A and B are shown apart, each in its own frame.
Chain A
Amino acid sequence: MSVTHTLPPIEKGRSFFGRLTRAREVGLLVLIVVLIVVTTAIQPTFLFSDGGWRELLRQPTILILIAIGEAIVIITRNIDLSVGSVLCLSTYLSGWLFANVPGIPIPLVVLTGVALGAFLGLINGLLVAFLRVPSLVITLGTLYAYRGIAILWIGPHFIRSSWLPPEYRRFGTMQILSIPVLLLVAIVVVLVVGWFMTSRRAGRDLYALGSNPEAATLFGLSERRLTLYAFVTSGALAGLGGLVYLAIFATGDAQVGTGYELEAVAAAVVGGVAIIGGSGTIWGVAIGAFFLATISSALPVLGVPSLWQQSIVGIFIVGAILLDRVLFLSRTRRAKRAGRTS
């Protein structure tokens, strides 16, 4: 026997949702362009100078890397507040290796820095997954604990540029087709992670976990394993961020990366990651990070008093969240209406 109801027309949900997410990314890109154009009109060297162009493209790299890691964690309905401290330890460890292990190959240092980050992320992940304590509390703790280790270890010292091999320092300024190599690194990471999150089962499982943890458990998805994935990735990317920091600034002390964790969360949220998990794209986050980094380099050039700069960033964050809420409500209302008429 077959069912003999008249078939309701297939609802079109995708185009609307698709337009929505794309609208946010396009909107951010437009804002970035406007910001650059306006700033350049006022101060041409902002763009049209060797350093200006490079600075514009190079400076967002660190934030892009740590924001992507942060986004993955937030997508699983967690948060990682320790990324700034992790970044600091990775920066100093890498500098210290160059100074104390003469002739150490650069790839080995890069690997060590990333591995350190991954290890610190693993600690976060294990604590969250097995103690079942909210990640906000755990990573608030490790934010201080990792920073404390950095202070104990580094003390008043700082990395001197003379510690670094010249080839490594050159990464900071190297350009391919006038695009800084460091940005290219970030772009590769964005592409790989973005592809993974949209196109691999494990990536989709991370979204599923954040979207409905109970259902994920009922489903046999391993909450622990996925939580570990997310935190390890976040730690590893913060480690990589530390290496980028070292290449750009060729220095660093025990205070490197202070406050980065909140910038990372801000970039993720502005880029469209829902703070309650389950949604958001890596591309969006990368653009969000680029946007925030551009604002903070443009505002001083525009003559905005430094007192106002943070407020303006804050307004964008609140605006992004309000926008999400409004869109969410209208979507729910639409869906309800569609449900009732079908």
Chain B
Amino acid sequence: MSEPLLQLHGVSKSFGAVAALVSADLTLEAGTIHALIGENGAGKSTLVKIIGGLYHRDSGDFLLEGESVHFHNTKDAKAAGIAVIYQEPTLFPDLSVAENIFVGRQPYTRVGTLDRAKMRRDTRELTQRLGVPIDPDRQARGLSIADQQVVEIAKSISVGAKVIIMDEPTAALSGVEVDRLMGIARQLRDEGKGIIFISHRFDEVFSLCDTITVMRDGTYIATNKTAATTEDEIIRQMVGRSVGSLFPKVETTVGAAVLEVRALTSVGVFEDVSFTVRAGEIVCFAGLVGAGRSEIARAVFGVDAYDSGSVTVGGARVPRRNPAGSMRLGMGFVPEDRRKQGLAMAASVQTNVTMAIRSSLARFGLITSSLEEPSARTWASRLQVKTHALDTEAQMLSGGNQQKVVLGKWLATQPKLLIVDEPTRGIDVGTKAEVHRLLSELAGTGVAVLMISSELPEVLGMADRVLVVREGRITAEFARDAATPENVMYAATHAVGAAA
């Protein structure tokens, strides 16, 4: 056998103190489809970005057809024959489909004008070859995600890519579209291209891919021939680590139901979601990114609208699309993206902490710094926010301290129910444990906590109950004692009954 198309060995990459990749290996043969799988945060995307020229590796070997390569940017990678198709394609909405395919290398006619006829012809030919004819002259704006991916694939073929990386391409597609995409992938494989396919859906991986490489915590774990392995084996490789008593979950006595959600449905987003969170209980939504967990939380809190169903807190009906009303009922919400949704970055720590309780602090409708200060000081010290002064701007704090400020903001409202979405994403290990301690303490005081997390150890360490969300539905529920990495991962990746 000749040289493999692509060979990576011992590749590492760190961002500051955070090691995204410790040691990644990957060997891709021409004419095969190679699955790259692992939990969220296992380092797949970082690896893809290194291959695609977006990041530079810190160390390790990267061979393309036997030659060591160092890409300076995405252009280099492209020139070397590597194409990456992202989950959300990156087209130019105002340009035509044909121009999107040829952007940066449009053919010219002899008089030095763009050869639109040739672009049109080639585009039609390419998309037809992929079985999805798309009008070359229409604007890219408004194309479905599936069609946008087809345009991206057509582009990669037309530049003569040898390696095509598809980063979770099926996450946003319907069943028919997935079949169509898999057909295209097989066709490209048969034409001798090497394809790296990233997906969380085992049914797709097993029916499509020849080889499966598993990563975990930024490290290469194993490469398996699909024919010679089983799903159980792969899941073991993905999660194989001990979930010790890493987080100090305080045992609490669980009280009466605080949050009750009944048959909540938002068409196309989530469906028939029912669950209860009781006082003093931590309930975790586990599942994959994009499963609809955050969307459910946002609807429950009243940020997003929903179509049917009901939400009650402490027996009172939570109004729709009215976060202020939800807050009055004693709900708090710490969003996933704290930079965008949780903090006023240019405002001081003090202002941020007291933001949610301003009306109760105000005197005669006016708020002054002297009214805010005592409350802010109490919370900042209880949370051990490391900052020199309360008037430090929030954007100057580390991710962990920012998260604590957001938590402080909600704790100051003394909520009955707190919803936290990915509370420890992008936070260093030490602060992580502190955030866990805080949440646990909070539950100890009788607050009901609904937590969303993509990190399995966090879920298993913190939750009194685990609800697994898959494709907009709660597909499994485990009590604390019954939840294991294997059964939670299995529920998160497998359709119940027929495949979607």
Interface residues of chain A, those whose CB is within 8 Å of chain B, are 1-5, 7-8, 10-14, 17, 195, 198-201, 204-205, 207-208, 210-212, 214-216, 218-221, 274, 278-279, 331-332, 334-336, 338-339, 342
Contacts and interface: CB of A to CB of B under 8 A. Distances in A.
Nearest to A12: B135
A208 B142 contact: no
A221 B128 CA distance: 28
Contacts of B112: 199-200
- 4 A-B pairs closest in CB distance: A335-B142, A13-B138, A220-B75, A3-B131
B134 A201 contact: no
A212 B128 CA distance: 26
Interface residues of B, number: 43
Contacts of A279: 94
5 contacts: A3-B130, A5-B180, A207-B95, A208-B95, A278-B94
B147 A204 contact: no
A241 B480 CA distance: 75
Contact of A221 (B104, B133, B190): B104
A218 B90 contact: yes
Contacts of B114: 198-201, 204
A32 to B, nearest CB: 26
Nearest to A274: B94
A204 B143 contact: no
B362 to A, nearest CB: 34
B94 A211 contact: yes
B135 A10 contact: yes
Contacts of A205: 103-104
Given A1-B186, A335-B143, 10 more contacts: A1-B190, A7-B128, A204-B99, A218-B54, A220-B73, A278-B92, A331-B141, A332-B141, A339-B143, A339-B147
Contacts of B134: 10-11
Given A11-B134, A201-B104, A205-B103, A335 B141 contact: yes
A5 B131 contact: yes
A13 B135 contact: yes
Interface string B118-157: 0000001000101111110111011110010000000000
B341 interface: no
Interface string B468-493: 00000000000000000000000000
B44 interface: no
Nearest to B140: A211
A204 B135 contact: no
Contacts of B183: 1, 3-5
B106 interface: yes
Given A13-B135, A198-B114, A200-B114, A212 B93 contact: yes
A301 to B, nearest CB: 39
A17 B186 contact: no
Nearest to A18: B137
A208 B103 CA distance: 8
A13 to B, nearest CB: 2
B74 interface: yes
Contacts of A219: 74-75, 90, 103-104
Nearest to B52: A218
Nearest to B89: A215
Contacts of B95: 204, 207-208, 211
Contacts of A195: 113
B137 A214 contact: no
Interface string B82-122: 00000000111111100100011110000011100000000
B133 to A, nearest CB: 5
Contacts of B137: 13-14
B293 interface: no
Interface in B169-194: 179-180, 183-184, 186-187, 190
B426 to A, nearest CB: 20
A13 B186 CA distance: 30
Interface string B306-342: 0000000000000000000000000000000000000
A17 B135 CA distance: 13
A38 B215 CA distance: 75
Contacts of A335: 141-143
B298 interface: no
Given A212-B93, A331-B141, A335-B141, A3 B184 contact: yes
B184 A13 contact: no
A8 B131 CA distance: 9
B78 interface: yes
A334 B138 CA distance: 12
A201 B109 CA distance: 12
Given A11-B134, A211-B93, A219-B103, A336 B142 contact: yes
Contacts of B99: 204, 208
A211 B92 CA distance: 5
Given A204-B95, A211-B94, A334 B142 contact: yes
Contacts of B93: 211-212, 278
A218 B74 contact: yes
A201 B133 contact: no
Contact of A14 (B138, B142, B190): B138
Nearest to B78: A220
A202 B78 CA distance: 19
Interface string B351-371: 000000000000000000000
A10 to B, nearest CB: 5
B104 A3 contact: no
A215 B92 contact: yes
A134 to B, nearest CB: 15
Contact of B138 (A1, A17, A201, A214): A17
A332 B78 contact: no
Nearest to B184: A3
A220 B104 contact: yes
Nearest to B186: A1
B54 A331 contact: no
Nearest to A339: B144
B154 to A, nearest CB: 13
